[in-house]
Each structure stands twice: as C-alpha cells, then as structure tokens.
Structure 1
Amino acid sequence: MKDVLRIECSRRNLQQVRDFVRGFLSRRSVPELLINQVVLAVDEVVANFIIHANGEDEHQFIDLELVVDGRVLSVEIADNGDTIFLPAPHSAPDLPEYIRQGRKGGTGMALVNRLMDRVEFFTRDHHTVCHLSKHLV
C-alpha cells in the first residue's frame, strides 16, 4: 500500500503533512503510539527540509511517499531544491547543557533517530532524500 503527497516549501503545509501521515497509518489500524511517533519524526524531517534545505522558498517543493509492506513502514521524503541537506551524524545531545545554555533547536534529528528504526539521508539527482523506516508491531 502506497500514498504520495507533494507540498510547497512553507511551514504552513506542516499540518497537511501531519494529517496525511496520520490518515495513512490510521487506515491501516496502526496503534496510536506508533502513529504519534511517526507523525512527529516525519514532521521534524519535513520542517528541516523546508527551513534549512530550502529556506522556505515556496517555489520549491517536497515529495513524501509512504509505503507499508507487511508490517514495515517506509517513508521517503525528497526535496527538489538546489541545496544538498545532509545532517551530520547525531549523538545524543547533552540536554542539561542545552537547558543551561538556553539553546533552542538542535535536538530534532536526535529525536527522529530515537523514534524511527532507520534514518538515512542521501542524494539522488542532485536532490536530498531522507528515508525513514519503522516496524509497525
């Protein structure tokens, strides 16, 4: 089972992304906890693509593809901008130090890595692609 969505690179489209992922998984009787985890992870990656990779340029777009094969969900998020966005590998952030410094941001991809079973960034045809997977058991 597969579904696709294309959005412009604007933060105002994040709710549409969350609704799309939630609806796709709800129709497959996925437990609510897993739905929430996947929605949060996809939202974070898409927001990073919109803000960091594409500078909220509404002339650019992002494609999402959701596929369930058996009990495994695969999510592919691909942008069509000219900037390659490959986040550096993340170790677990030092949260007490972040709080002490008053830092905002910088923990999203660490969260995505904890929520999903697999997180991969790569390039295809000079565009950035993120592949996420999660066992839906």
Structure 2
Amino acid sequence: MAFSFPMQDRIRISCSRQNLQQVRDFVRGFLLEAKRNDLQVNQVVLAVDEVVANFIIHANNEDASQFLDLLLVLAGPRLDIEIEDHGNTLFLPPGKAPNPDLRAYIQQGRKGGMGMALVSRIMDQVEFFERNSHTVCHLSKVLT
C-alpha cells in the first residue's frame, strides 16, 4: 500500500492590498502543482482571496506593519487552509454567513457584503476562532 505525505506550504504577507495578487498566485500554484482541476483551483483562490482581503481591509485597516500567515495542507482529497492574523484586534465574524437574495441585491444596486456568503458556498467548512490572542480562519474543502 502506497503512503503519501501531505503536501503543504506556507506564506507570510504584510496587510496591504498589494499582496493579494501574491496570495492568489501562491494558492493557484500550490493547487496546480497538486494537479487539481481549474474550476476547483479558481474557486479556492476566490475564497482565500476574499478572506485575506477581509483581514487586510476590515481587521487591519490596511496597516502594512501587520501581517498574515497562510498555511495550505493537502492530504489526499482534503484541502485545509489556515489564515492567521497577527493584528492587535480579534476579528471574529458571525459563524454562518447569511445567504443573501442575489436578485434583491442587484435590484437595490448594493455592493459589498457578499464575500463571506460566497466563501461559505465554495468551501465545505469555514470557521473563525481565537488562538494565542490571534484570529484564525480555517477553511476546508474536499477536492475531487
């Protein structure tokens, strides 16, 4: 029986929007190296991008002196992602994002507020918790 070790990689970025492309490239490269299909790669990249952008903009006010750590672990079909915020404040959004009415959003001309609902649809599990006085977001998804 063949045993394969989990594949993993990590990256640290400062809390600047300019680093979002680096995060997208990092996640895309990791998943393509693992030979995952383009649709799932794009979905996961979108979900991670949204969470990281929320940490940068809402939790850290784009303070480039603060930083985030991202850890990607792929064990068989299961992908686990941890995004840890090293900022001074805890950023713990409500557990389950609401499932907004997209038609009403469009009719009202609203912008924003859809990100975490999208992340919840893409990923199998989304949770925020505190570890060592830092906010951590854990995302997981079984990839086919």
TM range (shorter): over 0.9
Shift of 1:102: 1.9
Once the two structures are TM-superposed, the CA of residue 105 in structure 1 deviates from its matched residue by: 0.4
Q: Which residue of 2 aligns with 1:45?
A: 51
SS in structure 1 of the partner of residue 128 of structure 2: strand
Per-residue CA shift, 1:55-93, capped at 9, x if unaligned?
100000000000011111100000100111111232211
Report how many residues are paired: 137
**Which among 61, 65, 77 is matched to residue 71 of structure 2?**
65
RMSD between aligned residues: 0.8
The alignment status of 1:93 with 2:72, answered yes or no, reads no
Q: Mind listing any 5+ residue stretches in structure 2 that lack a counterpart?
A: 1-6
Residue ranges of structure 1 left out of the alignment (5+ in a row): none
TM-score (norm 1): 0.97
DSSP-derived class of the 1:17 partner: helix
3-state SS, counterpart of residue 29 of structure 1: coil
Aligned residue among 12, 26, 32 for 1:26? 32
**Do structure 1's residue 124 and structure 2's residue 131 form an aligned pair?**
yes
Q: Aligned residue for 2:17?
A: 11
- Larger Rg belongs to: 2
Normalising by structure 2, report the TM-score.
0.92
Q: Distance in 2 between matches of 1:18 and 1:101?
A: 30
Q: Which runs of 4+ in 1 moved over 3 A?
A: none
